[in-house]
Chains A and B, each alone.
Chain A
Amino acid sequence: MKKHRLMGLVLSAALFSIFLPMALMLLWSVAGRWPWPGLLPETYSLRTIKELLTGSASLPRLLSSSILLALTVAVLGTAVGVMTARATETTAFQAVPWSGSAPFCRFWCPGPCLPWGSRSP
């Protein structure tokens, strides 16, 4: 019982640390004036949100291209991942030494290698 209470505390602390920065950012996004060391904004405003939606920042266009990109990657990545997982589950594949590590090869490659190496100089 004591351990469950401790684990409950751990879980609550984790959720608090996950949501605190997001709540703070949400507050900042509607803050009009927030001088330091105020604990809360002095005034609130939707100016930045309006600017994002209708102003020169053109959020809808940026969002739609990001969503399209993310969807394409998620669909293709999931399809390839499921197929690879199915194949590597078979005994024939598992008999190959180090085969379990094969899907992790991608992680050897540092972040910049793929975009820089796949384009012409």
Chain B
Amino acid sequence: MKKPFFLLIPFFLLMALVLASIWNVLTQSLGYIPAFGLREPTFGYYARVLKDPGFLSSVLVSLKISVWSAVISTVLGVLLSMALIQCGKQRGGHVFAVRIPVLVPHAVAAVFMIQIFSQTGLLAVWPFVLGLLEEPAAFPQLLFTQSYGGTILAYIWKEAPFVAYFVLAFMGGIRSSLGEAAENLGASPVRSFFQITLPLSVPVISRAFLIIFIFAFGGYELPLLLGSTLPRALSVETYLAYTRPDLLDRPLAMAMNGVMLLLSIVMTVLYSAVMDRVSRKIGGIQ
């Protein structure tokens, strides 16, 4: 095929929709919403957002959720992928089972976490029955707290299988070619994994990390359902500002969205630049 660029037309059309949406968000964040009688662009809403002491707390909460969930999910996902490869389960029922959490909606994942990790959940019942707990309140509170433990656990439950599924085919390909060649030449399976398969898979693993990191940073269902009342995650704060009855607060919600967008872009660019360098240094396959 000589000119494959026409194949990109649907993608660019979708990207145009995304860019138009971003443009709308940014213009509204500057206070330009003629339908509400707001016609004077101003950075005042950004100033209000940035001066709000609760805003920094929200940014930190979102960063905490996304960093913890993405790091742990990536480690567990790579381990799970390796387990699937080592056990020869790269196709069939096991892979299908691993895909299930990816398909489960976030609201349902939140219910799962409540069933298991709440103070009256499954994990609290067993110690109580065995006499290790005197009352449900003695079980550590993991949900609806400022630690956002429940939110992080729910993201891990959904994202670790996503990472495993995302990297499985790539890691499996390397393992069955270069990894096995290294083992035939005398390397132990552990050495072959850490010195051949893992380094060459870094670009794919880093992409999986980036996707789940940005997704957790911007996702609002799980922090809303399992998080504490204060401080709220940035996405929850934005959502609540957007749904306030006073429509003149709309630019404030859009300014929060603008900051979130800027942070996402900065983190993505920085991360991509760092990972590009790391991959080149260790010889990962691009």
Contacts and interface: CB of A to CB of B under 8 A. Distances in A.
Interface string A94-107: 00000011011111
Contacts of B33: 121
A79 B10 contact: yes
B20 A39 contact: no
B116 interface: yes
Say which size band chain A's interface belongs to. Answer: 35 or more
A80 B112 contact: no
Say which size band chain B's interface belongs to. Answer: 35 or more
B49 interface: no
A105 B15 contact: yes
- Most B-side CB within 10 Å, residue of A19, A22, A79, A84: A84
B54 interface: no
Contact of B112 (A24, A36, A105, A114): A24
- Most B-side CB within 10 Å, residue of A25, A38, A86, A87: A87
Contacts of A43: none
- Most A-side CB within 10 Å, residue of B28, B125, B214: B214
Interface string B18-44: 101111110010000101100000000
Interface of A: 3-4, 7-8, 10-11, 14-15, 17-22, 24-25, 28, 36-39, 79-80, 83-84, 86-88, 90, 92-93, 100-101, 103-118, 120-121
